[in-house]
Amino acid sequence: MDQDSAASSLNQVYQLAPEQIAGPYFRNPQLLRRNISEGAEGLPLLLRLTIVDAMTGEPVNGALVDIWHCNARGAYSGWSRINPDVEVDADAIGSIPRTDDDTYLRGSQFCDPKGRVRFTTIYPGFYAGRALHIHMAVRIVAGSEFLEARNVAWVGQLYFPEVVSRSVLNAKAYRGRSAKVLNNTEDSFYADMKGEASTLTVWPIGRDTHEDGFFGQLTIGIDTFAASSQIKPEDFDKFTV
């Protein structure tokens, strides 16, 4: 590695990732699992996230990473009967009553000693007023009551390269929507909360077809001593969570 490449690598490792809102569809279903798809229709996505301490560049071993996202048609489990083609006027945790107890496309994993977690899921679709994204949160846990941990250190959203998303939205499971998908730059959260720093690197699994799905990865730098302002301990007591 040359000197410029080494410097670039260090800057990436030590960068503190920008936080974004948790949104109204955050839940704490206590599902420790790698495969979160539950048979949801859509193109497979193998997601690898690496969590590092932005102060030291060291991997964060044992952190609990939660992810949640909509299905190919834009619906979230727990709110499956909310019409995803109609924009909702709410973005705070607990602001939209739950409609069901489904748990598809939600789950948690512990970081390994290299700070990595892996999830098997599907490439998300979209819902009215948003670009394609995945929500995530990182909890710094201690002791045996890990699934009850409320000390959330970092909350963010993961975005996708436009060229890949356009191809995905042409697949059968994603077509036929009445709502218009937003480009990343048209999404106010992406634009106003530094979404470009949370865009996944994505490439196809298969050489000849996208039907085999995609790999996605990103390294995320967090402050392990921080308390996120996006998910607070009292949010876990809200009815919808």
Domains of the chain, by residue range, sit at 3-237
Q: What is the DSSP pairing of strand 201-204 with strand 116-122?
A: unpaired
Average pLDDT, the chain: 91
pLDDT, tens digit, 9 for 90 and up, residues 130-154:
999 999 999 998 765 666 778 899 9
pTM: 0.92
186: which residues sit within 8 A by CB, 6+ positions away?
131
Q: Is the pLDDT of residue 6 over 80?
A: no
Phi first, then psi: what are they for 174, rounded to 5°? -105, -10
CATH fold of 3-237, please? Answer: Protocatechuate 3,4-Dioxygenase, subunit A (2.60.130)
Q: Is the pLDDT of residue 3 over 70?
A: no
Q: Is the pLDDT of residue 54 over 80?
A: yes
pLDDT, tens digit, 9 for 90 and up, residues 157-207:
999 999 999 999 999 999 999 999 999 999 999 999 999 999 999 999 987
Distance from the first to the final alpha carbon of the chain: 46
Three-state DSSP at 191 gives: helix
Contact 199, 207 (CB under 8 A): no
